């Protein structure tokens, strides 16, 4: 594995690409270190570095946001794969022709599901944390699978994105996952599958009752860089490998 990873690094050209692969390898999940293809990782680096130069939403990003929320190849425990080229080819024009990033995200959230033929179902999906291609192939996903696909599509066109969610609602009615995108210096939330744009969701009354004193009832957002906390996965409670940020205070402050 070491030789394969070294070969992948040596195949990359340019300071930006080398900085990117160094970041990924510094914080790579242990499961990926032993299973992911070096070529797959290098491909993600090349695509992300190229999109930073071409995307109107990515050129001026702070390095810390680009590295943590555009570059990474994964969000939670989904299958690792090369999702950037297809999603970029299908959706870059839709996003880049928008007058603002907010409108770009709205267009993606309207068109993605129509073009890919994907619908929501909480139990008919094969698994919770489906990869983009798994969701596209089966045509159905949970809120987590939908959010992974939307966030991947955003990253593929240079929009910083991460997953956010609650492991359990205050009334023990289940978990929920959505997407956050970085826009003009702040994180905005958006509901996957035809959401109405920034700051609009069906769960606004429920989010006002989260409890940041209990990790199970806290609002978390994923991170690639370690944070000292982890995203509690409702479908895999023993997995503490996904770094996360407690963002409850921001949601509790919503009007």
pLDDT of residue 118: 98
Domain enclosing residue 127, as ranges: 2-252
Name the 3-class secondary structure at 137.
helix
Question: Cβ distance 144 to 162 under 8 Å?
Answer: no
What does the pLDDT look like over 99-110, one tens digit per residue? 999 999 999 999
C-alpha distance across the termini of the chain, in Å: 51
Smallest CA-to-CA distance from 87 within 153, 140, 160 is with 153
In this predicted structure, what is the pLDDT of residue 7? 77
Assign 123 a pLDDT band (cuts: 50, 70, 90).
confident
pLDDT attached to residue 195: 86
Round the average pLDDT of the chain to a whole number and report it: 95
Number of structural domains the chain divides into? 1
Least confidently predicted of 11-25, 52-66, 237-251: 11-25
Contact call for residues 218 and 212 (beta carbons, < 8 A): yes
- Which of the four pLDDT bands, split at 50, 70 and 90, describes residue 2? low
Strands 119-120 and 140-141: parallel
The whole-number average pLDDT for the span 224-242 is: 95
Residues 142-160: what's their mean pLDDT? 99
């Amino acid at each position: 594995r070491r030789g394969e990873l070294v070969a992948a690094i040596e195949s990359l050209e340019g300071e930006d690409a080398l900085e990117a692969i160094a970041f990924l390898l510094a914080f790579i999940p242990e499961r990926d270190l032993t299973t992911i293809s070096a070529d797959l990782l290098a491909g993600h680096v090349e695509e992300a570095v190229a999109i930073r130069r071409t995307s109107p939403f990515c050129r001026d990003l702070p390095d810390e946001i680009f590295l943590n929320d555009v570059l990474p190849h994964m969000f939670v425990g989904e299958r690792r794969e090369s999702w950037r080229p297809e999603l970029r080819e299908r959706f870059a024009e839709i996003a880049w022709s928008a007058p603002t990033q907010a409108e770009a995200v709205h267009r993606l959230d309207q068109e993605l599901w129509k073009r890919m033929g994907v619908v929501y179902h909480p139990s008919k999906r094969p698994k919770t944390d489906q990869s983009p291609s798994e969701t596209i192939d089966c045509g159905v996903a949970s809120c987590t699978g939908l959010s992974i696909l939307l966030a991947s599509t955003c990253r593929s066109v240079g929009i910083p994105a991460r997953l956010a969610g609650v492991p359990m609602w205050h009334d023990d009615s289940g978990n929920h996952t959505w997407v956050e995108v970085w826009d003009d210096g702040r994180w905005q939330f958006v509901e996957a599958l035809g959401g109405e744009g920034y700051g609009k969701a069906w769960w606004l009354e429920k989010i006002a009752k989260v409890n940041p004193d209990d990790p199970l009832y806290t609002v978390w957002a994923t991170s690639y860089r370690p944070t000292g906390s982890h995203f509690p996965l409702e479908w895999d409670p023993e997995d503490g490998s996904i770094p996360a940020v407690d963002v409850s205070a921001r949601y509790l402050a919503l009007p």
